[in-house]
């Protein structure tokens, strides 16, 4: 029964630490929200939506271009492998 007490104590310590961490996190969140409402950070999130959306579109196009490039490289390497394999087969 000594092991059970040990485990219970360990779990109780872990729970207490987790509660303290949660309280610290909640206090930090409250402080940041109060600072935001007081205007400490100014117009932090006042972004031009047109520019932001244009930047997102550009990122999406870049991702699509990267995917197409990877696909082309894969197809090219597969084709090259097949051609070399056929050539070595013919030379045998």
d(CA 61, CA 39): 36
Question: What is the residue extent of each domain of the chain?
Answer: 1-45, 47-92
The model's pTM = 0.41
Q: What is the pLDDT of residues 73-88, one digit of tens each?
A: 787 787 777 777 666 6
* DSSP code string of 30-72: HHHHHHHHHTTT-STT---HHHHHHHHHHHHHHHHHHHHHHHH
Which pLDDT band, with edges at 50, 70 and 90, does 17 fall under? Answer: very high
**Coil, strand, or helix at residue 73?**
helix
């Amino acid at each position: 029964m000594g092991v059970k007490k040990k485990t219970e104590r360990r779990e109780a310590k872990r729970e207490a630490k987790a509660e303290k961490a949660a309280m610290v996190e909640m206090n930090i969140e409250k402080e940041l929200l109060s600072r935001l409402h007081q205007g400490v950070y100014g117009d932090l999130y006042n972004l031009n939506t047109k520019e932001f959306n244009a930047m997102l579109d550009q990122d999406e196009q870049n991702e699509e271009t990267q995917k197409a490039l990877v696909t082309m490289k894969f197809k090219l390497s597969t084709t090259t492998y097949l051609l070399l394999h056929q050539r070595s087969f013919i030379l045998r």
